[in-house]
Amino acid sequence: MRGPRFHSKLTDDAARLNASIDFDQRLLPYDVEGSKAHARMLAAQGILTAADAEAIARGLDQVVEEWRAGKLVLDEQLEDVHMNVEVRLTEIVGEAGARLHTARSRNDQVATDLRLYARAQAAELSKTIATLQRALVAQARAHVDTLMPGYTHLQRAQPVRLGHHMMAYYEMLARDRGRLADAARRMNQSPLGSGALAATTFPIDREASARALGFDRPTANSLDAVGDRDFAVELVAACALEMAHLSRLGEELVLWASQEFGFVKLPEAYCSGSSIMPQKVNPDVPELVRAKVGRVIGDWTTLMVVIKGLPLAYNKDLQETQEPLYDAVETALLCTRTMAGLMAGATFDVPRMARAVGQGHLLATEVADWLAARNVPFRQAHAAAGALVRAASARNLELTDLSLAEMAAIAPDVTFDETLFAVLDPNRAVDRRDVIGGPAKTRVLAAIAQAESDLNAIP
């Protein structure tokens, strides 16, 4: 805002560079919420009359209703959403609207609006992540008995349950929800009353306005309150890490949906075809999710670069923290909602996964463990199992195809007996891993039950 101090207008280019209305209109309902709390606090302190405060509140309600109905045309010449609200309010209620800005600055106003927005978006994203978690847990329960290869280095390693695999992503997302909760807790302080940088001479009640807006307390330092956006950085960092987890899930779905794996069929509503190849069913949604993490990481980087060298307190540079914040949370919300629907509708090829478990010597570790349990030093047991794998592979056989006599000839320094074949069963191999966090059926069922209980407790 320039005011009567200036004799000339901004050039058209400078005005476009300065304006934020294209993106900060997202803040309008939060601006109204903050302004109503501010007006009522001013009335309680005798700074405004009760009649003015109530007129302001009614007028602000009308402003937000007009905006939601698409009847309020925001004026770019007024630079930002805050001035658009104030101007329209004054048109509605007259002089009382012009009194609203008493004892506040646009600096503490926008800082408050942004915290209200960020807090609401953190809650919405957490709720949306929980929806995806529910889809993963439902798939886990449906596939407790489905075996699949577990991988390291994208090479078949050991058999696990598909349910156990699904629950791994549940745990990642649970930590993402925890990070969002942490960020929301730290941002939940009210800048309102901090003024431009040095608070105000009016006898305001910052505790009252903070309570009215659902904040835990007012911010402790006026310079910090208007001059930092670390709450936005922290929220976007949480979004970036959640997106990285979604990207990993998307990568696996792309691989698993390929003919080379053939483990999953994605719902058609989340796929596309080819402009030239009629047979194609392309996993566009997980591919896009896999790519969009780069966008959100870029948003985080932008925020860090904007704030890294700013002197206290407010600088116009801080306007450039808004678009990365909006883009990050809105991208994360869209991707999470979409992946929740995709996972709920995905179908898995159980026989194909079972066949994959039977190929590639996934039970070689069972041989080593069986020998180690019989007092063979593990390194010696590991070498013996490796020798069996090498010999079987040379003949295009699996370990279970070797006889005891052949095993003894291949690894003569250890002793094998018939009980070995009992552990060379994928289901038994998985269930023998009956430790906390393991893939045994009892452990997976317990993890699913705990997850269902935790999700049911979410308001």
Residues designated as active site: 153, 274
411: left (phi over 0), alpha (psi -120 to 50) or beta: beta
Under DSSP, is residue 191 helix (H, G, I), strand (E, B) or coil? coil
What is the crossing angle of helices 81-93 and 28-44, to 10°? 60
Cis peptide, bond prior to residue 130, ω within 30 of zero? no
Residue where the block lists tokens 């309570």: 211
Residue where the block lists tokens 């698409």: 70
Of 33, 28, 36, 23, whose CA–CA distance to 83 is shortest? 28
Task: Give the separation between CA 397 and CA 450, rounded to whole angstroms.
Answer: 41
CB 263 within 8 A of CB 293: no
Task: Give the separation between CA 389 and CA 394, rounded to whole angstroms.
Answer: 8
Pairing of strands 264-265, 347-348: antiparallel
Phi, psi of 159 (to 5 degrees): -75, 140
Task: Give the separation between CA 144 and CA 371, rounded to whole angstroms.
Answer: 29
